[in-house]
Amino acid sequence: MLAIYPVLSPDIAENAVKEFVRLVGSRFFAEAADILAGPGWPIRDILLSGLGGVDQVDRQIFAEIVYSPWL
């Protein structure tokens, strides 16, 4: 769905971002990192700005996975 984000209606686009945030908040870090690096890359700023409500520890773990040199 993120591949067509620009043409989604506002409510569906918002739900797509919320689903990404739920992945990180549910500790599906590798899956969320794959999404961010793949179809989510063009809207990475939107996706990452949604993580403000996610626990700081979870955000830190996610960041470590995203910036990991071996992935």
- Residue 20 is classified by DSSP as H
List the domain range (segments joined by +) for residue 36: 10-66
Tell me if the pTM is above 0.85.
Answer: yes
Q: Is residue 30 part of a domain?
A: yes
Distance, CA of 49 to CA of 26 (rounded, Å): 17
Residue 3 domain-assigned (yes or no): no
- Amino acid code (one letter) for 49: S
Q: How many domains does the chain have?
A: 1
pLDDT at residue 37 tops 90: yes
Q: 27 pLDDT band (50/70/90 cuts)?
A: very high
pLDDT at position 71 is: 56
Handedness of CA 11, 45, 60, 56 (dihedral sign): negative
Question: Cβ distance 14 to 2 under 8 Å?
Answer: no
71 located within any domain: no
